[in-house]
């Protein structure tokens, strides 16, 4: 998702691209949609008789509907697609804002030296975006640990707990099964601890580089 956001922001930062404002709005718009609403929408789209299966069968890619809700592998793919659609624009805005603050003379000098656009992206843009990439990586890691609405509304942790997340597990401990608030609170503190450790390690690795 971070790599996709980087690529999209680089494309949308091109001065000769037409309708840049429209594309930026279209990609960022999913970020302001309700988590519950978009989860239910994706559940409907990926149902056996939903628009995704119907479209894939119509173009001849598949012959039978994909069991998105009942197959462990496809259930994970469905949730990944939904989360990517929802949060790519969020990261893209940070990268796009940072790219617009990079001194244009750096790129001008690179073009004069004959540096290709691909090398400019990997050897100029990405290193200069290092602080922003670090920030979005930490936020994405913490967000992954907090995933709840998508799984709750689309699969409820199934099939066979294959899409069960930590947040949904805590919810089940507290409200779905026999209430065990003490254990649920302990798991919550452990998640906070690991999130802090991951953020610290990411910061140290990025700083050392």
Residue 209 pLDDT grade (very low, low, confident, very high; cuts 50, 70, 90): low
- Name the residue range of residue 103's domain: 2-208
Each residue's pLDDT tens digit, 82-127:
999 999 999 999 999 999 999 889 999 999 988 898 899 999 999 9
What pLDDT score was predicted for residue 180?
83
The CATH number linked to 9 is 1.10.3720.10
Q: What is the DSSP letter of 163?
A: T
| Average pLDDT for 65-87 | 93
Predicted TM-score (pTM) of this structure: 0.86
The percent helix, strand, coil of the chain (3-state, each to 5) is 75, 0, 25
Each residue's pLDDT tens digit, 6-45:
999 988 888 888 888 888 889 999 988 889 999 999 999 9
Under a CB-based contact definition with an 8 Å cutoff, are residues 162 and 72 in contact? yes
Name the domain count of the chain. 1
Residue 209: is the preceding peptide bond cis (ω within 30°)? no
């Amino acid at each position: 998702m971070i790599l996709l956001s980087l690529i999209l922001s680089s494309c949308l930062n091109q001065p000769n691209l037409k309708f840049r404002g429209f594309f930026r709005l279209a990609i960022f718009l999913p970020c302001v949609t309700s988590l519950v609403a978009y989860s239910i929408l994706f559940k409907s789209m990926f149902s056996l008789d939903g628009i995704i299966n119907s479209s894939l069968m119509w173009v001849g890619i598949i012959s039978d509907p994909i069991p998105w809700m009942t197959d462990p592998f496809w259930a994970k793919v469905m949730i990944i697609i939904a989360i990517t659609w929802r949060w790519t624009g969020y990261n893209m805005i940070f990268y796009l804002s940072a790219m617009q603050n990079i001194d244009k003379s750096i790129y001008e000098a690179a073009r004069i030296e004959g540096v290709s656009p691909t090398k400019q992206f990997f050897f100029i843009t990405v290193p200069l975006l290092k602080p922003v990439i670090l920030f979005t990586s930490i936020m994405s890691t913490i967000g992954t640990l907090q995933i709840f609405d998508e799984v709750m509304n689309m699969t409820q942790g199934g099939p066979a707990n294959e899409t069960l997340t930590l947040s949904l597990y805590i919810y089940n401990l507290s409200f779905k099964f026999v209430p065990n608030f003490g254990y649920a609170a302990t798991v919550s503190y452990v998640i906070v601890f690991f999130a802090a450790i991951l953020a610290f390690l990411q910061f140290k690795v990025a700083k050392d580089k």
